[in-house]
Chain A
């Protein structure tokens, strides 16, 4: 359980990091919190020759308001997210989800950028970002670009990041005042990935759902946006029949792997239940 040898780089600017990554090519990996990458390196399932540590780049840190958007620097840790009053006020679902990630030690080191950029289907933030309609800022050798979270994930550990590009910030439009939200995650124990998890953000008026987005974690090789399920609840008061319909629509797009968390059938079934419970809890919070 010892990583292979590598050279260590600690650039001070995004431009330097991009330059390093594009020059060093496939043999280089950016290092954020490292709590996905380092264990992989210790197992020698990842053997990068160069690590480009992003901790020295001040520009990647911090949470700020930009008009009606919240912009979160990629190197913001889960612990910082949990401590932020801004996030508590405007994006409380992020805190609800962050508290369910790994354990306290990992949350001190784990970053939101690493969580969304790694492409690990077990990570919680990607589905959440899709649900919130977030955009990612990518910087690369050819300059910067924005991409919707919904466009970012292409396969397990396979994303829209081009060689040399790094994800520098996440931008989320403030959800409507009075929105309801919930992140329901079933896991075997602290430190485990989700057996199934669902994120819901919705608005209600007169007891009926006005808008709704549903995201799914670890139920496919990429995070999923359950659009049919979300459509099914619009205009309803989330009665039993609607919830059943929404769960079925969500289950229809799930294709989890069978693993120690359970067989496919079980993971899909509880995926549907997570959707149901997240919808109910979100609705109870909506004003």
Chain B
């Protein structure tokens, strides 16, 4: 060894592998305006399509007259349901086992529903065209309030389902009922409530909101008549699924469908589903023989493609008088809008809502969910959360605070008392999940120490006393949240989409010079996969991350994957990447043994290559092994160094975290101020701490928005009143609080690298932290639960109802 020999630390650092704050490779193009988003694509002869949409929430469509529209210069075609019927595409299947109108077929069921698709030479002519299509409507009575949807005399929304007494998820009990889903032991749970010292019951609503990525949903479809091939560039979080769906419904052989997700400007669940725009653009391209682009505008995005939540959760907890929980009973009224277009794994009509027992050791629980139709946009996507997990976390975290209040206990103490203990993992929950790992007490205590929880409670007591003396008009709230997520859908034993198991995949090819390409079945929408996937490979096989190019989103080249949502990329694809790497490493070991003339078992791995045990001087680097793989492999071995892995996870992963929000509220105006927000996340092994921190910041910001005002609200006539960025609360840098992040590391025992996924934790844990802070602030005035969103006027209303303005 001489001075020029790199140290082990230097060799490790040179890889930029796992645990390193590697700067993102994506940023070179994004900071220079050289990203490649769907709307940037311009194909020769490309046409533009745009929708005529319904101004009514519920109406019969009497007639559609396209005569004047077709006279507009540049307008080439107006597609209606009648046109689509000729190719059997007037309706399309949804991911949830329902069907959805592509274009209004006889009636419309929500405001801004797609009625006709105008195809023109450019987007200006298309817009002119839609203003000339004359549609005659006969308005029908609307159902907006989910609690009235199953009234006996409620209007019939889905006439197409007349006489169908059961749907994809079992019996329907009313014409506006979709499904009932029950889990858990009802008798045992009822008994626990009968025996309980203390019970609470509260209807906790999680309002309707929207993921609203900055880039809306859009696509370009190009049908090549001679080859019979359809190419689709789109904002897809799951391009392979889109390819299969198109093959199934358009009857085009799957090998002739090319789906490409280029750079995607944020997803947050909005870009999982299949939308009428994609179908119409494809049909228009087939009809015209030209490429057709469809780009949704913001109002369309907020009002028509995939809302999130609208869950109304009647929550009951049974407990002993000293605060040990003994039972949980939840009934959910789930408003799915006009069609059940939830993007959940097929067998899970309410997603993984049965994670609702949260971080607590409930001996028994029972859950039932009723899905219903209303005259609102379809969707129910997982907006930065695993399927219905943020709803579940909100339900239980609010419930625990309400219980603490009733018991006169501190909410943090109540949680500590009921946590699943470290030694109980793997833990089988009362509602059927096997939690992989956790150390909740350590995380909670770290949070409490870091923020001086006891000190904050003292300060709050003083503030309350001052308020009661009339010395201040501000009240102070501490919002504690301790969430357990369930991500990484998922094991084939319980997760599929349209029958396709929810595995994910990776293919790695190493080139002779010690570089390579990795293709993965996921699709980054900002998470930085091109950076982090290479880090996993770097650590696993000792090739510097800079030498690994990562490619996603092209269904012709990437192995089949189920895409990116539900924080599944790291738990599933991340595992596939590690497993593919290990296959490569195994072959590399054989090559190294051959070249070093030793037995394979005499080799050991050392950072970036193999060395002979006991002879540290005798080594072969992965770089050299790559070269050897292409010129001197052992006799009988195929040359080359590549591997594919399809990873079917044995279990979900269960990230968790301890969050706290410190908030002051001015009772006179309802204006709040977030004084402090601390988020401790445990996502298992950390691949890139910089990116994790960024994910947490972003997720907390979305949680803040949702809890404090971000709402898709309808008036009683079914008009969306928050349909643009003026009224849909989208915080700027000024409103957004400062975030403090922290972590503990409890690896997943079943994941090859121990990673659990993090992108959605901050949304799941953040919403209850904010809401609990508001509720905690008001609790001393006598309230138990105030519904979200907690915008200024609702805070004021709460204050008023609690008598703070009494003369």
A188 and B732 alpha carbons, distance in the complex (Å)? 11
Given known A188-B729, A189-B734, A192-B726, contact A263–B127 (CB-CB < 8 A): no
Tell me the A105-121 residues at the B interface (CB within 8 Å): none
Inter-subunit contact A188/B792 (CB<8 Å): yes
Inter-subunit contact A260/B127 (CB<8 Å): no
A284 and B363 alpha carbons, distance in the complex (Å)? 62
- Find chain A residues with CB under 8 A from B669 CB: 186, 270, 273
Inter-subunit contact A263/B297 (CB<8 Å): no
Tell me the B692-734 residues at the A interface (CB within 8 Å): 709, 713, 721-722, 725-727, 729-732, 734
- Find chain B residues with CB under 8 A from A259 CB: 721, 727
Q: Determine whether A269 belongs to the interface, using a CB cutoff of 8 Å to chain B.
A: yes
Inter-subunit contact B128/A4 (CB<8 Å): yes
- Find chain A residues with CB under 8 A from B123 CB: 2
Q: Determine whether B791 belongs to the interface, using a CB cutoff of 8 Å to chain A.
A: yes
Q: Determine whether B124 belongs to the interface, using a CB cutoff of 8 Å to chain A.
A: yes
Partner of A260, one of B727, B734, B735, B797: B727
Q: Determine whether A10 belongs to the interface, using a CB cutoff of 8 Å to chain B.
A: no
A269 and B298 alpha carbons, distance in the complex (Å)? 33
Q: Determine whether A177 belongs to the interface, using a CB cutoff of 8 Å to chain B.
A: no
Inter-subunit contact A261/B734 (CB<8 Å): no
Given known A2-B127, A4-B131, A270-B669, contact A190–B796 (CB-CB < 8 A): no
Mask: chain A, 139-157; 1 = CB below 8 Å from B; 0 = not:
0000000000000000000
A5 and B127 alpha carbons, distance in the complex (Å)? 11
Inter-subunit contact B721/A190 (CB<8 Å): no
A20 and B466 alpha carbons, distance in the complex (Å)? 65
Partner of B792, one of A2, A103, A195: A195
Mask: chain A, 178-220; 1 = CB below 8 Å from B; 0 = not:
0000000010111110010000000000000000000000000
Inter-subunit contact B796/A266 (CB<8 Å): yes
Inter-subunit contact B793/A263 (CB<8 Å): yes
Mask: chain B, 781-798; 1 = CB below 8 Å from A; 0 = not:
000000000011100110
- Find chain A residues with CB under 8 A from B725 CB: 191
A273 and B792 alpha carbons, distance in the complex (Å)? 14
B-side interface size class = 20 to 34
Q: Determine whether B245 belongs to the interface, using a CB cutoff of 8 Å to chain A.
A: no
From residue B667, how far is it (CB to closest CB) to chain A in Å? Answer: 11
- Find chain B residues with CB under 8 A from A273 CB: 668-669
- Find chain A residues with CB under 8 A from B735 CB: 189-190
- Find chain B residues with CB under 8 A from A1 CB: 127, 297-299
Q: Determine whether B671 belongs to the interface, using a CB cutoff of 8 Å to chain A.
A: yes
Residue of A nearest to B793 (CB): A262
Helix, strand, loop or mixed for chain B's interface?
loop
Residue of B nearest to A270 (CB): B669
A140 and B214 alpha carbons, distance in the complex (Å)? 44
From residue A25, how far is it (CB to closest CB) to chain B in Å? Answer: 22
Residue of B nearest to A193 (CB): B726
Given known A1-B127, A4-B131, A44-B131, contact A188–B709 (CB-CB < 8 A): yes
From residue A247, how far is it (CB to closest CB) to chain B in Å? Answer: 11
Mask: chain B, 127-138; 1 = CB below 8 Å from A; 0 = not:
110010000000
Given known A186-B792, A260-B713, A269-B796, contact A103–B732 (CB-CB < 8 A): yes
Tell me the B126-170 residues at the A interface (CB within 8 Å): 127-128, 131
A44 and B721 alpha carbons, distance in the complex (Å)? 18
A287 and B732 alpha carbons, distance in the complex (Å)? 36
Inter-subunit contact B671/A190 (CB<8 Å): no
Mask: chain B, 295-313; 1 = CB below 8 Å from A; 0 = not:
0011100000000000000
Tell me the A243-283 residues at the B interface (CB within 8 Å): 259-263, 266-267, 269-270, 273
Given known A261-B793, A269-B796, contact A190–B732 (CB-CB < 8 A): yes
A195 and B731 alpha carbons, distance in the complex (Å)? 16
- Find chain A residues with CB under 8 A from B297 CB: 1
Residue of B nearest to A190 (CB): B732
Tell me the B518-552 residues at the A interface (CB within 8 Å): none
Tell me the A18-36 residues at the B interface (CB within 8 Å): none
- Find chain A residues with CB under 8 A from B671 CB: 186
A202 and B562 alpha carbons, distance in the complex (Å)? 66
A189 and B672 alpha carbons, distance in the complex (Å)? 12
A273 and B725 alpha carbons, distance in the complex (Å)? 27
Tell me the B45-65 residues at the A interface (CB within 8 Å): none
Partner of B731, one of A189, A260, A270: A189
From residue B674, how far is it (CB to closest CB) to chain A in Å? Answer: 14
- Find chain B residues with CB under 8 A from A189 CB: 729-732, 734-735
- Find chain B residues with CB under 8 A from A2 CB: 123-124, 127-128
Inter-subunit contact A262/B734 (CB<8 Å): no
A46 and B735 alpha carbons, distance in the complex (Å)? 32
Mask: chain B, 638-682; 1 = CB below 8 Å from A; 0 = not:
000000000000000000000000000000111100000000000
Residue of A nearest to B734 (CB): A190
A203 and B127 alpha carbons, distance in the complex (Å)? 55
- Find chain B residues with CB under 8 A from A103 CB: 732
A228 and B451 alpha carbons, distance in the complex (Å)? 50
A273 and B666 alpha carbons, distance in the complex (Å)? 12
A261 and B732 alpha carbons, distance in the complex (Å)? 17
From residue A243, how far is it (CB to closest CB) to chain B in Å? Answer: 12
From residue A128, how far is it (CB to closest CB) to chain B in Å? Answer: 21
- Find chain B residues with CB under 8 A from A188 CB: 709, 729, 791-792
A190 and B726 alpha carbons, distance in the complex (Å)? 10
Inter-subunit contact A191/B796 (CB<8 Å): no
Residue of B nearest to A43 (CB): B299
- Find chain A residues with CB under 8 A from B721 CB: 259-260
From residue B230, how far is it (CB to closest CB) to chain A in Å? Answer: 28
From residue B720, how far is it (CB to closest CB) to chain A in Å? Answer: 11
Give the residue among A44, A260, A262, A270 with the most B Cβ atoms within 10 A: A260
Inter-subunit contact B131/A266 (CB<8 Å): no
From residue B73, how far is it (CB to closest CB) to chain A in Å? Answer: 10
Partner of A270, one of B124, B734, B796: B796
A263 and B734 alpha carbons, distance in the complex (Å)? 25
Residue of A nearest to B50 (CB): A2
- Find chain B residues with CB under 8 A from A266 CB: 670, 793, 796-797
A195 and B127 alpha carbons, distance in the complex (Å)? 33
The 7 closest A-B pairs by CB, nearest first: A262-B793, A2-B127, A260-B727, A266-B793, A1-B297, A190-B732, A190-B734
12 A-B residue contacts at CB 8 Å? Answer: A1-B127, A2-B128, A103-B732, A188-B729, A189-B730, A189-B732, A191-B726, A192-B726, A195-B793, A262-B791, A263-B793, A273-B669
15 more contacts with CB within 8 A, not counting A266-B796, A266-B797, are A1-B127, A186-B669, A189-B729, A189-B730, A189-B731, A189-B734, A189-B735, A190-B734, A195-B793, A259-B721, A260-B713, A263-B793, A263-B797, A266-B670, A267-B793
